[in-house]
Structure formats: structure tokens, C-alpha cells
Amino acid sequence: MDPQSYSSLHQNPEYKNFSPNRIHVRVRNKGQSYTKPSKVYLFWTLPSTREDWYEDWRYDLVYNGFYNADSGLSYPLGSEINDTGIIIGPLAPNADTIVSYDWWPPNPAWYYTDTSGTRVSFSERMVCLLSRIEESDLAPFGMATAEVIETTINVKNNNNIITKNTTLFNKNQGDMVLPIRYHYPIVVGRHYDFIDELRRQLVSVYSLDFYNYANVTVVLDDSLYAAWVAGGQQGRVHSQRP
């Protein structure tokens, strides 16, 4: 998927180290009145005969991960693609809009089958994408029919949910990059530019332009989160996971 342009012609996603793919979702109002302001959320999972909501579509290496004995690491079997909903305004009857978002797909080589001790890895894997429109942050999220565990039933019952199977491939099979998570404590005090200090310390540790190679997730404990909310949720870059 070309990250710089939109085309209605589908392209299979490719695992790449240094540039993202791009997902495009067309949102169409098939009703007779204006839609409510909504948010679009995107997910991926490795397909199966039955994909459960929400377990198979979330990032959880314990309950939704694949352990690779060669690398000694676990890899995601599915994940949220955007933590923060993509806002779409009201749409007139029969109107539509295109929502686009960058995506870094998993490496097909992270996964393999094991038959009697013989491991077979893949240069291609089927991947299922899911897009959903939520009109509310609270259940049932504006769905016409309350969701159940089986994803297929939710798609049939709600036109705010759609899935698409696609083939993920890797042209360069020698570029397997292991996902690594570092827990890096930084003491935060008053009048402290957190982002600049984080950048300075990461660059000094790894000697590279860190933000070209990785994403940073900051988890606030309850007291720090409450202080941040009380202060007006100030910040140059932040996202919130429900």
C-alpha cells in the first residue's frame, strides 16, 4: 500500500523496516439522515476459523501471542492499529469520506508451523483487517445490535463493522527484526520537558535517531494520570487507550 497516495485498487501489505503501509477505509452514509460524529478504529489479526472479539484483535503477548522458540521471544497474533479514534464528522445521506492511517504490519517470518519438531516459516501470511465506527465511548458504542464474542456475527449484525482478508508478504526475507520493549525509568519533576528529556536519553543510550525506528509508549500510574487530567491534559503528543 503506497503510504503517500490513495487508490481504490487494493494492494497487499508488505512487511518493511523503515516505512509504513497505509490503510484506507471508505465510510459511507447509506441512511436517510445525517450521521453522528464518530470515531474509526482499526485492528489486525492472523485469521482463523473463528476470530473472537475482542481477544483476537488486541495486543496481548500473554493471551494473544506466538512464542518463537528460535528467537526466544513472543510476537503478537493481533493488535489495535490506532489507539486514538480517527474522528469523522457528520455525513450527509449517500455521502462518503476516506479515512487513512499508517500501519506497520508484523513480519510473516515471526510465525511458523511445527510438525513433529520440523518448523516451517513463511514469507507470506494471511492477515485479517477490521474497521469499526463507534458513535460513543460506552457500550454498545452506537452499534445497532449488541456485540457478541464471534466477530463474524458482529459484522453481519452491524454495518459499522467490516473485515477484510489480505495477504501479508515480505520481499526481503533476510530482514527479520525482533520487536523489543524497553522499560526505561525517567524521573519526572516540576517544570520538566518530558519529551525533550526522553529523546535526549534514548539517543544517548542507542546512538541513533530513535524516532525513525521505534514508537514510545508512556504509561502513567493512577496518581500521575490524575494530575495530568487535572492540569488540562497538556502535551505536544499523546494518545489515550480506553
pLDDT in tens, 207-218: 555 555 455 566
156 — phi, psi (to 5°)? -65, -35
pLDDT for 53-64, tens place per residue? 999 999 999 899
Mean pLDDT throughout 34-58?
93
Residue 84 CA to residue 113 CA, distance in Å, equals 34
Q: Is 0.85 topped by the overall pTM?
A: no
Q: Quick check: 158 pLDDT over 80?
A: yes
In this prediction, residue 224 carries a pLDDT of: 77
Q: How far from 22 is each of 14, 37, 75, 166, 240, CA to CA, in Å?
A: 10, 23, 21, 13, 22
pLDDT for 161-202, tens place per residue? 999 999 998 876 555 454 444 444 545 554 455 556 666 665
Q: Quick check: 147 pLDDT over 60?
A: yes
In this prediction, residue 71 carries a pLDDT of: 86
In this prediction, residue 212 carries a pLDDT of: 53
User: Cβ distance 194 to 38 under 8 Å?
Assistant: no
Three-state SS at 171: coil
Residue 45 CA to residue 201 CA, distance in Å, equals 34
Average pLDDT value over all residues in the chain: 80
Higher model confidence: residue 217 or residue 86?
Answer: 86
Mean pLDDT throughout 50-74?
91
Mean pLDDT throughout 77-99?
94
Mean pLDDT throughout 47-55?
90
Three-state SS at 147: coil
Higher model confidence: residue 176 or residue 84?
Answer: 84
In this prediction, residue 242 carries a pLDDT of: 39
Residue 151 CA to residue 50 CA, distance in Å, equals 7
Cβ neighbours for 45, distance < 8 A, ≥ 6 positions apart: 51, 56, 57, 77, 78, 79, 127, 128, 130
Quickly count: other Cβ atoms within 10 Å of residue 165's Cβ. 9
Residue 152 CA to residue 134 CA, distance in Å, equals 18
Quickly count: other Cβ atoms within 10 Å of residue 7's Cβ. 9
Which runs of E-coded beta strand occur in the chain? 21-28, 38-45, 65-68, 73-76, 78-80, 86-88, 96-103, 112-115, 118-121, 124-134, 161-169
Cβ neighbours for 174, distance < 8 A, ≥ 6 positions apart: none
Residue 132 burial class via C-beta count within 10 angstroms: exposed 0-12, middle 13-18, buried 19 and up:
buried
Three-state SS at 79: strand
